[in-house]
Structure 1
Amino acid sequence: MKKTIDLTIISPLEGVKKGHMKVLSLEGAPCRGLGQIEIMKKISNIRSIQFDHDFDVYIGSSWGAVLALCLSIKVPLDQIERAFEESQTYLNSRAHRFFSLFFPRMCPEKVLAPFRPFFENLQFKDLKKRVICHSYDICYKQIITFDSANPKDQDLNLKDLLVRLTFAPSLYQPKIDTAFIDVSMAMRNPLFFTLMKFFKDFKGEPMDVLHIGAGQKRQEGAKVRKLFERGWIHWVFSKQIFEEIDSIGRAYQDYLAEMIQSSNAFSSFKLVKIDPLIDGKLDFSFMGDMSLTPQEIRKEVDGWMEKFPIDHLEY
């Protein structure tokens, strides 16, 4: 049976000024959120963009959703950066690395603790700006959308929502009864899915989208080819192969988002994408994200930003 895309309206565009819409789209990855913050700080220093003020809608997946939630309640970038760094410091600890060899890798309480003061006693309806973020239901095999403008979502506790957005069962020991996991297992770039989910809302609307990716590695074709020319044992244990498989799906998601620019349905759609291309030897696989240090990711993103002309950014 032929599958069709569900283009049902989930909710009206409440709180968004008609005539022109500014959207910030954020990919998700644990430590690489620090790279996204570094990009925002550099843009803010050169341009007059205020990331906690100048956007009507924030879209996020995984830790990009956490970053979007923080910006929507006007948490300063420096404070968000410290929270990301403190969380990543726990993941990088020797004790955590040792025990993660035998047990699920993350304790959600410790990883989320630095962010909890931002969201104390807050519900989804308390956000200053509209936030659209996604999770994945492993029981029903569906991407689940949370929208702060949707009445059915507005009473959600933000601290509970964080767990639904950012963790996968393979990485941590669940302490809550939920089938929701990190949507990065299904998609890392949230932009295309969001535009399709809210097709009737967004169709024909003048829209400027700034999409900040979590970064990807520059690879040599010959080396990548050799990764796949090995036996199945190598496939099971090679994080590099998982990294490449993830990049294939991600490239397809990026392509779909870019195709929207040329469609008649989104004739007033403008997309500016910033996605660091990393030359270093960092492990960018899903599991490898946990081992990156804040210093490593900042160094690589800073090196890339030196070659990126922010002052000519067409946004």
Structure 2
Amino acid sequence: MPMLKTARLLTATALSVAVIVPLAQAGDEWDVKVDLQGSYGDYAKSTEREDLWSAGLIVTADYLDNVGFTVGYNKTEVNYTPGTPKLTQDALFASVRFHDTPDLLPGRLTYRLDGHLIENDDPTGNTDEGRILAPQIAYLAFDKSLYLDLGYAHSSYAGDLTLTQWTPTLGIGLNQGNDWLQLRGYLIHSSNASRTQGKEDTSAVEAKLTHYFGSDAPLGIDRLQATLLGGQRMYAVDGDAGAVYNLADIQKGSLSLGGTWDLDDSWSVLLVGGLEKYENQDISDEYDNRYLYFDVNRKW
């Protein structure tokens, strides 16, 4: 059965990529990019977990300033202490967005809908059969000085667990456009507290600060981003990353630092290092995930 689930997700991803990639040859109307991603995480001080591996492919296409869509596939493996088999997960992500520029607003509205399909071999069944729909409406000023969005996510998992999430976001351009500050809230409600370690509601705030360097950037870095998460969240849906945090326990904060190198007009590389703090209250286990993440991007 797990192999059949994986085959279905891989087939859907391959068909989507086969449709999107040829758009790169369709002329100046289309902008297409492909991201190859990978990460490794080491679980420190955990009584159950050892490490995590992840790899994925994301393809994005935008037609002029009117419409865009994205499809991605990610495979993750979590290794546990001896005696516990590893967990393998396959996840498919798809997104469609439409842009509008009303005459009454000095900016652009974006209407977006994301979907996630998640299949894994979790023996508890608590994280398997994830089905997530996440609509969002966003506003970006023409001068890129202000960004606002309101996102919602409805998540369901095997058994009797559903979650709802609200993610209000504020982004502000600073220092004459050389810096960008984004603040995002995560308000998550669980339908079954027994499946979420006794917690019916969790909340967190994430702050991201991005600095854009000029020609004198240290180490040739074009963009540097620092991220800090405070509060608590479970089964969070991250619209920026196109990812779902369904394989961990209660996340109790994180910090990361990443740099982007634009190698030329077509290629760029992103490297991120970070630390995430988690707790499994059911077994009184507090631990860290120390991770490295990379993304290689090709644009047409």
- Relative to its length, the structure with more strand (as a share) is 2
TM interval, shorter chain, is under 0.3
TM-score normalized by the length of structure 1: 0.27
What is the TM-score normalised by the length of structure 2? 0.28
